[in-house]
Amino acid sequence: MLKLHLDTDLGGDIDDLCALAMALHWPEVELLAVTTNSDDRGKRAGYTRYALGLAGRDDIPVAAGADVSGSYYRVRPGWPDESVYWPEPVRPAPTPLERALSLLEDSIEQGAVLVAIGAFTNLALLEKRAPGILRRAKLYLMGGYVYPPRAGFPPWGNDMDWNVQVDVASAQVVLQHSSPTLVPLSVTVETALRRAYLARLRRSGPLAQLIARQAEAFAKDERMEARFGLTCPGLPEDIINFLHDPLACAIALGWNEGVETREIPLQMEVKDGWLQQRVDDTGVPTSVVTRVDGRKFSEFWLDTVARAFPPSDPYPFPK
């Protein structure tokens, strides 16, 4: 059975919740632990525990990692209205930072796939605590900006690469001391959480229903249907959000339909406070996902999260 560790900033953009739900439904995967970054006195950890509870998985350890009070971040991440996004008040779950770093270290020692779907702060702090450990990690990073998005998708630049740019110092440490696979913005932007998916999510289990609730709220807040669905021909008109984090997790877990991964020599430098990556023959060979079938993945995500199956048959997918 494949072992997995998620390092997440769940509680803001809803794609982290979408990734967690997918991982919990993935066949033959053991989610060892979840750690949170850019937390705020355990707020993200509390949300994560609440979501795991809806799925009946209170057994999975959760720890709050790097906190926004630590001056790691370019900006202080905001929070959506809890009364709208969550069905009831959620109790924060603060833990010592060392607890999160120990969970990360234990997962790496057990050979788990480590997927970072938020800022890379916890990983950098772990490398400083245990030099050389990231080089041994099976690490997948949702982030990196090597090529711009293809025509037909939002023409975003390097500044939109949140997971890297919100904590540049940590991103630089992690990229220098690990051998990750990058799942960059240019490919994740081809995925879509669609309004058409909501009815099926509402008919599924409690966690899928929570995603549907948050998707409705997110659609009102972010207006992506108007901003991108009507302006980007590569995206469906009813897009609510991108599935950035679920795609990174799926590729880490072996999903490869329409996925192209190349080893690209990359140079890295920081200019005016922003981390820049460029292709250079003298650079470090880096595994980068360069193409995906975003539509196929989006349907796969829905099938994985919303498919109902009896508890006696935990692995309903073809093996």
The count of C-alpha atoms lying within 13 angstroms of the C-alpha of 14, restricted to the half-sphere facing its C-beta, is 27
- DSSP structure class, residue 287: E
CATH of the domain at 242: 3.90.245.10
Average pLDDT over residues 169-194: 97
pLDDT band at 313 (very low <50, low <70, confident <90, very high): very low
Q: Which residue has the higher pLDDT, 309 or 82?
A: 82
Residue 317 predicted with pLDDT over 50: no
Let me know if residue 17 belongs to a domain. Answer: yes
Let me know if residue 285 belongs to a domain. Answer: yes
What per-residue confidence (pLDDT) applies to 307? 78
Give me the torsion for CA of 185, 144, 210, 84, rounded to 10°. -90
Let me know if residue 62 belongs to a domain. Answer: yes
Let me know if residue 156 belongs to a domain. Answer: yes
Let me know if residue 146 belongs to a domain. Answer: yes
Q: Do the strands 181-183 and 284-291 form a parallel or antiparallel pair, or are they unpaired?
A: parallel
What per-residue confidence (pLDDT) applies to 86? 97
Q: Which residues contact 126 (CB under 8 A, 6 or more apart)?
A: 101, 104, 105, 133, 134
What per-residue confidence (pLDDT) applies to 168? 97
CA gap 198, 211 in Å, rounded = 8
pLDDT band at 78 (very low <50, low <70, confident <90, very high): confident
Let me know if residue 318 belongs to a domain. Answer: no
* Residue range 3-45, pLDDT digits in tens: 999 999 999 899 999 999 999 999 999 999 999 999 999 999 9
Let me know if residue 316 belongs to a domain. Answer: no
Let me know if residue 115 belongs to a domain. Answer: yes
Query: For the chain, how many structural domains are there in total?
Result: 1
Is residue 234 classed as helix, strand or coil in its secondary structure? coil
Structure tokens at 239: 């897009």
Percent of the chain with pLDDT over 70: 96
Q: Do the strands 284-291 and 2-8 form a parallel or antiparallel pair, or are they unpaired?
A: unpaired
- Host domain of residue 104: 2-306
CA gap 248, 162 in Å, rounded = 14
